[in-house]
Chain A
Amino acid sequence: MVSSTVEQRYAEDVGPGDEFEETFTLSTDHVHRFLAMPGNRLGANQNRFNSEEVAKRDGLPGPIVPGVMSLDVAYRVLGDFVGVWGKVRSLEVSFRRSVFHNDTLTSKILVTDSGEDNGRHWFKADIFLENERGERPLQGVADFELPARG
């Protein structure tokens, strides 16, 4: 996983057509850490998220990343895009394919619309994760706000 530098973007500098991308690898270690979080029962048993054997029994080539973890990674990239003073309002995704441990994913954000409402600078964007095989396991849309320079 690359560590990102969170730079602050401002409403005046972003508009429809703007793109942002980040590439990272979701390692087995990341998944195991997620499953081991206090209160996460997904890690309590052998399953398709942590066991090669169970994943293969389920017809998968190897253990997969929980869908919600892929969503959280997409959110993380959006958070990097809006910076400390921006706000992600919502992220809606569909899970189209499995993400496997150690997949290298590129997250792309494409700004599709923007406007101002009562002093709030809102934006809409398409977002997807693309793996090294050219597949898009997650696609969705996001609503966010950015601060104004003034």
Chain B
Amino acid sequence: MAEAEAKFDPSVIGLEEEIGSFDITAEQIAAYCEAVGETNPLYTDADVAKSGPYGGIIAPPGIVHSISMGNGPDAKIRFGNAAFHAGEKMEVIAPMYPGDHITARIHVKELFEKTGRTGSMLFEVRRTIFSNQKGEPVVATEKSFVRREVVPGGE
């Protein structure tokens, strides 16, 4: 049974947690480029990339999306019967090179309610910062998840 009133634990806001790590490899870059149809020589052509701004092939920042990570802090949300990924901001901070070891840390940035045309919604914004082995941030993502009540057969 869905909750009529949004319930969640606001104490998780700001709590940071490591949710996983992975290595950037040339094979992973090539597989990702195949999957999304990437042909930019920065990621696909060693000769062109060598004379480019980074001195060699780098990883497309979206590669962080292709690797599953943990969930991080649980806001214990009890609201609605449907949840979906409503949006995302990806910030590209620094290049990722083959051989880099990337670690992801996440925190809940915001939890808030909003009333729209289709009724009440609860937004959860989770920010993840991916850093390399030197501790330098390389990519940051902010994912917005929405929960709401969906009436069968309705909107």
Contact = CB atoms under 8 A, between A and B. Distances in A.
A55 interface: no
Contacts, number: 112
Chain A contact-residue range equals 35 or more
Nearest to B142: A92
Contact of B88 (A1, A38, A92): A92
Contact of B35 (A2, A34, A75, A79): A34
A31 B42 CA distance: 23
Chain B contact-residue range equals 20 to 34
B7 interface: no
A34 B88 CA distance: 18
Contacts of B39: 3-4, 6, 80
B65 A33 contact: no
B66 A40 contact: yes
A72 B62 contact: yes
A4 B144 CA distance: 31
B10 interface: no
Interface in A4-55: 4, 6, 24, 30-31, 33-34, 36-42
B37 to A, nearest CB: 4
B67 A95 contact: no
Could you tell me the dominant secondary structure of chain B's interface residues?
mixed
Nearest to B144: A94
Interface stretch (A83-91, A108-116, A119-127, A129-137): A83-91
Nearest to A73: B36
B88 A93 contact: yes
A79 B68 contact: no
Interface of B: 22, 28, 31-32, 34-42, 48-49, 52-53, 60-62, 65-68, 84-92, 144
14 contacts: A30-B37, A34-B36, A37-B28, A38-B31, A39-B67, A41-B68, A42-B68, A67-B88, A69-B36, A71-B65, A76-B37, A88-B61, A95-B86, A95-B87
